[in-house]
Amino acid sequence: MSQPAFQRDDYTEFCEGVRRLTGIDLAQYKRPQMERRIRSFADRRGIAGLPEYLVALSADRDALEGFLDRMTINVSQLWRNPEQWDRLGTTILPELARTGTIRAWSAGSSYGAEAYTLAAICRRVAPGYKVEIRGTDIDARMVARAREGRFSADDARTAPRAELERAFDRDGDGWRARPELRMMVRFAAGDLLRDPVSPGAYDLVLCRNVVIYFTEPVRDDLHRRLATALRPGGYLMVGSSERVSSPQAFGLATSHPFIYRKS
């Protein structure tokens, strides 16, 4: 339901307040979804309006962390979109392995499912090669979880069983990445919209299911910066329903659907 006109600016002020408190700029995210979620959280907590919600968040660190947790949607899965991993495993990774060390970045890594899936596939298709995978996410709690490398049975629902068993140990009802996988990945908190990128630092950048929440100009600028982080000949993989809107402008050529090669 749309908000009455007199409430429109309280959203902008709320975003500015959250930016002052946390450095996270909610105004960069698509307003309709974000605003609906924020208003419904406030509502469920019995808080009358956004100015009051901002006061409550300013006074209570736990409430603020809980709020941020809910804002950044962390859904992920091992071997999410298996067709993407097939493409990576059959063509891209073997090609990258021929050049020596594979340096990869899981940008918006959530609790690490994407980074560990990549690590598992690298061990299979490029055994003996040095692989360094960095995962970053704005949500520090997800980063802490990612470092543990633990996944539920549901997280593994689309994982090929043989590959899963080769790289993960049983952990109660779920799975834990083997130590050799955990040595290949490093996780850190980071804001993709604000942190500087190191030009040419990576052979492979994965940024999947992150930009769906961003406005189009913010999304395009992020894709441009991710392209900068690739060395010539490196690859960017986006989500299976996503695309880079003007790849040539960022020095990228479409290599496969959802995969771009830096020229």
Ligand X SMILES: C[S@@+](CC[C@H](N)C(=O)[O-])C[C@H]1O[C@@H](n2cnc3c(N)ncnc32)[C@H](O)[C@@H]1O
The binding site for ligand X (CB under 6 A) comprises: 72-76, 80, 108, 110, 113-114, 137-139, 142, 191-193, 208-210
Least distance (Å) between residue 258 CB and ligand X? 12
Residue least distant from ligand X (Cβ): 72
Which of residues 80 and 150 has its CB atom nearest to ligand X in the complex?
Answer: 80
Least distance (Å) between residue 247 CB and ligand X? 20
**HEC profile for 24-79?**
CCHHHECHHHHHHHHHHHHHHCCCCCHHHHHHHHHHCHHHHHHHHHHHCCCCCCCC
Least distance (Å) between residue 72 CB and ligand X? 3
Which residues are registered as beta bridge partners of 205?
105, 236
Which of residues 141 and 182 has its CB atom nearest to ligand X in the complex?
Answer: 141
Least distance (Å) between residue 122 CB and ligand X? 17
Task: Give residue 173's identity as a one-letter amino acid code.
Answer: D
Least distance (Å) between residue 217 CB and ligand X? 14
Q: What is the spatial order of strands in the sheet that 150-151 belongs to?
A: 150-151, 174-177, 168-171
Least distance (Å) between residue 191 CB and ligand X? 5
Which of residues 141 and 178 has its CB atom nearest to ligand X in the complex?
Answer: 141
Backbone angles phi, psi at 144, to 5 degrees: -65, -40
Least distance (Å) between residue 98 CB and ligand X? 26
Beta carbons of 179 and 151 less than 8 angstroms apart: no
Q: What distance in Å separates the CA atoms of residue 195 and residue 188, rounded to the nearest whole number?
A: 12
Beta carbons of 213 and 219 less than 8 angstroms apart: no
Structure tokens at 18: 């959250």
Which of residues 130 and 194 has its CB atom nearest to ligand X in the complex?
Answer: 194
Nearest CA among 214, 191, 187, 188 for reference residue 138: 191
Which of residues 151 and 209 has its CB atom nearest to ligand X in the complex?
Answer: 209
Which of residues 137 and 203 has its CB atom nearest to ligand X in the complex?
Answer: 137
Q: What is the spatial order of strands in the sheet that 230-238 belongs to?
A: 185-189, 131-137, 102-107, 202-207, 230-238, 259-262, 252-256
Coil vs helix vs strand at 222:
helix
Which of residues 56 and 188 has its CB atom nearest to ligand X in the complex?
Answer: 188
